[in-house]
């Protein structure tokens, strides 16, 4: 299995696991924010549905526009249209299919090339795994949120 296919397989599995965890959150807790300051499970799902759209700039153009506070607010406004976990999952899977097509075509010879973006300098191989990493990070947040209201079941 090539690196690209392994990255796709890992990301697909993370999409599955992420939405299993999100669905385990009771409806009345989907928009709950820890200490009224953190992010809600629905907010995390909305971001994960949108984040595969970052791939064209990163993997094709080898750049990413800076994300200003205004850009983040615009993203939040845009993603707020997805008001259920089902909608977020549908959009995430659609956007991920586009991402997978880009990853499949990415040349193995360019995997070690680096790009500097607002979060640091990364190899293209690392950026191919950005959706996986982002969802894994937010998957952990969902699992932590679940423990805060007493759900300790492993998923």
The pLDDT value recorded for residue 118 is: 81
Is 118 in contact with 67 (CB distance < 8 Å)? Answer: yes
Is 8 in contact with 100 (CB distance < 8 Å)? Answer: yes
- Asked if residue 102 is part of any domain, the answer here is yes
Is residue 65 helix, strand or coil? Answer: coil
d(CA 62, CA 65): 10
The pLDDT value recorded for residue 146 is: 93
The tally of domains found in the chain comes to 1
d(CA 38, CA 60): 33
Range of the domain at 68: 3-148
The pLDDT value recorded for residue 103 is: 97
Q: Which residues of the chain have pLDDT under 50?
A: none
Residue ranges of E strands in the chain: 114-117, 120-123
**96: exposed, middle or buried (C-beta count within 10 Å: 0-12, 13-18, 19+)?**
buried
- Asked if residue 154 is part of any domain, the answer here is no
Q: What is the CA radius of gyration of the chain?
A: 16
Strand pairing partners for 121?
Answer: 116
The pLDDT value recorded for residue 29 is: 94
* Closest by Cα among 142, 2, 132, 119 to 64: 119
The pLDDT value recorded for residue 67 is: 76
The pLDDT value recorded for residue 153 is: 82
The pLDDT value recorded for residue 69 is: 85
- Asked if residue 129 is part of any domain, the answer here is yes
Q: Does the pTM exceed 0.85? A: yes
pLDDT tens digits, one per residue of 109-152: 999 999 998 889 999 999 999 999 999 999 999 999 999 888 88
* Closest by Cα among 3, 118, 110 to 59: 110
CATH at 126: 1.20.120.450
């Amino acid at each position: 299995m090539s690196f690209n296919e392994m990255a796709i397989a890992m990301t697909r599995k993370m999409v599955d696991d992420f939405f299993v965890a999100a669905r385990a959150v009771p409806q009345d807790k989907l928009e709950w924010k820890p200490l009224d300051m953190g992010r809600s499970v629905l907010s995390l799902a909305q971001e994960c549905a949108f984040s595969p759209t970052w791939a064209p700039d990163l993997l094709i153009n080898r750049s990413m526009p800076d994300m200003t506070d205004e850009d983040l607010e615009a993203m939040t406004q845009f993603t707020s249209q997805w008001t259920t976990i089902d909608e977020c999952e549908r959009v995430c899977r659609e956007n991920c299919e586009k991402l997978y097509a880009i990853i499949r075509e990415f040349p193995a010879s360019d995997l070690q090339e680096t790009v500097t973006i607002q979060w640091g300098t990364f190899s293209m191989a690392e950026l191919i795994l950005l959706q996986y990493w982002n969802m894994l990070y937010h998957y952990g947040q969902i699992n932590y949120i679940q423990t805060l209201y007493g759900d300790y079941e492993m998923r």
